[in-house]
Amino acid sequence: MVSIEAYSKIHKSRWDDFINLSKNSTFLFRRDFMDYHSDKFDDHSLLVFKDSELIALFPSNTIGKSVYSHQGLTYGGILVKSDMKFTQYLELFENILNYYFEKSFEKLFIKQIPSIYNSDFNGELDYLAFITEANIYRRDIISVIDMQNDFNFSKDRIQGYKRGVKNNLEIKETDDLDEFWNIILIPRLSDKHSVKPVHNLGEIQKLKNNFKQNIRQFNVYHDEEIVAGTTIFQTKNVIHVQYIGSNMEKNLLGSLDFLFYNLITKIFPKHKYFDFGTSNEQQGKKINKGLIYWKEGYGAKSLIQDFYEIEISKFDKLRNLIV
């Protein structure tokens, strides 16, 4: 028998233990990461059991009659172990949809985890989204360097790196995010895009303190003055660029090219993938030409991330799937 329980704090240790075993989990799904902004979301995450054994997790929140793979996270989906068989996945997915249906929810929105973050194949959800006639309401592309294969830097990126060398730039890793946040990131986002970082300084510093091995800060200095930096989210397979910023002299000094040339070739050369994130705007409908050009200058290629909208009542379409 499959049974489902809504997450509560009594499940924390069991939840986090499962994250360590799942084929499609990263540290973002650990409760100390998810719960830092618990006041902003109505959490309705699920634990799925089969004969009392925990077999799946679904990090989620709700708004009105809609359920979302957690909106506080960059990606989501149903978290399972590598030994999960397709028929078992089918059963648990049907039960999840039925659970929400009985609670009068109408739609389920899932932003699928990109394949590079998985430790094993993870196509079950994509197939069952097709069976339930899901709508792909958004499709982003993320720019990723496949570090396991040959890739080349463009002349522009190499020239930028050489300018950094000529200007005697220095890279330092730090546990303190204050300097980058207040001197570089917040002013640049405000001036260029009239926005603020998704995480405020207090939030990101708390996360950094909780996940020292996963959240790393690299700053670039010119004559002891910070001129650029990036906040990295490090997972088993992937180095993800979460935040990036520089002062107005980035092209003159070569600060960002100097930084990323060193990160890719000297600091993280043994990782499988280097993920620069998306260059999409307007809900995936537009691409920032300059941004994607810069990322591709490091040898990054495009990988898709799909966003599904599923009518929960269509769980009945799963019942006669197996012949």
Count Cβ neighbours within 10 Å for each residue of 294-316 and write b for 16 or more, e otherwise: bbbbbbbeebebbbbebbbeebe
Overall average pLDDT of the 274-288 stretch? 95
Residue 275 pLDDT grade (very low, low, confident, very high; cuts 50, 70, 90): very high
Q: Give CA–CA dist 270/281, Å, rounded.
A: 31
> What CA–CA distances, in Å, run from 197 to 220, 221, 246, 256, 258?
19, 22, 14, 19, 23
Residues 77-99 pLDDT 10s? 999 999 999 999 999 999 999 99
Q: Which residues contact 45 (CB under 8 A, 6 or more apart)?
A: 6, 7, 15, 34, 57, 58, 59, 60, 61, 70
Q: What is the CA radius of gyration of the chain?
A: 21
Query: What was the pLDDT predicted at 248?
Result: 83
* Higher pLDDT among residues 190 and 60, named by residue: 60
Q: Tens digits of per-residue pLDDT, 209-246?
A: 999 999 999 999 999 999 999 999 999 999 999 999 99
Residue spans of alpha helices (H) in 37-85: none
The CA–CA distances, whole Å, from 25 to 18, 180, 184 equal: 9, 28, 31
Q: What is the pLDDT of residue 120?
A: 97
Q: What is the pLDDT of residues 238-273, one digit of tens each?
A: 999 999 999 988 779 999 999 999 999 999 999 999
Predicted confidence (pLDDT) at residue 276 exceeds the cutoff of 90: yes
Q: Sign of torsion, CA 151 156 160 165?
A: positive
Query: Mean pLDDT throughout 303-319?
Result: 97
Please compute the mean of the pLDDT values over residues 171-197 and round it to a whole number.
94
- Banded pLDDT at 187 (limits 50, 70, 90): very high
Alpha-carbon span 66 to 137, nearest angstrom: 14
Q: Are 211 and 191 in contact (CB under 8 A)?
A: no
Q: What residue ranges in the chain does DSSP mark as E strands?
A: 2-6, 46-50, 53-58, 60-63, 66-69, 79-80, 107-111, 135-146, 170-174, 215-222, 225-234, 238-246, 273-278, 280-281, 286-287, 301-311
Q: Average pLDDT of 45-62?
A: 97
* Cα first-last separation, the chain: 21
**Could you give all domains of the chain from N- to C-terminal order, each with its CATH number?**
2-140+306-318 (3.40.630.30), 149-271 (3.40.630.30)
Give the pLDDT score at 50: 96
Residue 37: which pLDDT band, with cuts at 50, 70 and 90? confident
Question: Is there a contact between 27 and 234 (Cβ–Cβ < 8 Å)?
Answer: no
User: pLDDT-based confidence at 182, cuts 50/70/90?
Assistant: very high
For residue 282, the model assigns a pLDDT of 92
- Give the pLDDT confidence score for residue 290 in this predicted structure: 95
User: What average pLDDT does the structure give for the chain?
Assistant: 96
Evaluate whether 203 touches 213 at the Cβ level (below 8 Å).
no
Question: 174 has which bridge partners?
Answer: 217
> What are the pLDDT digits (tens) for 8-35?
999 999 999 999 999 999 999 999 999 9
